[in-house]
């Protein structure tokens, strides 16, 4: 099913793009296990270091993903078109 192109208000797009968001890329299974182990131990600082070092830094402009969905303040699932990373993000909400 083809996704319908949404018409985005130019000011809302500018606000979304004020924050540079790029895909960090996938995390290997081994690094993910290490991150989960560290988080279970409560070591969030070291978990962040392992997470950052283990990413492939895809670099895809994640704002393109945000702007391809409704700006409705709700959770949206996504898949990076470059590296295939999947996840969930919360869209910004703009008052009409």
Structural domain boundaries in the chain: 10-90
pTM: 0.74
The C-alpha angle with vertex 19 and arms to 16 and 20, in degrees rounded to 5, equals: 115
Q: Which of 95, 89, 76, 75 is nearest to 21 (CA)?
A: 89
93 forms bridges with which residues in the sheet? Answer: 72
pLDDT in tens, the chain (96 residues): 445 566 778 999 999 999 999 999 999 999 999 999 999 999 999 999 999 999 988 999 999 999 999 999 999 999 999 999 999 999 999 876
Task: Give the count of alpha carbons within 13 A of 60, CB side only.
Answer: 19
Which pLDDT value is given to residue 1?
42
């Amino acid at each position: 099913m083809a996704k319908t192109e949404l018409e985005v208000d130019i000011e809302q797009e500018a606000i979304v793009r004020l924050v540079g968001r790029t895909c960090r890329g996938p995390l290997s299974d081994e690094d993910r296990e290490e991150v989960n182990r560290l988080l279970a131990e409560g070591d969030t600082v070291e978990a962040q270091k392992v997470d950052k070092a283990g990413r492939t830094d895809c670099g895809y402009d994640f704002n393109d993903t945000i702007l391809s969905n409704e700006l409705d303040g709700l959770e949206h699932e996504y898949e990076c078109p470059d590296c295939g990373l999947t996840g969930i993000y919360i869209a910004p909400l703009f008052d009409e």
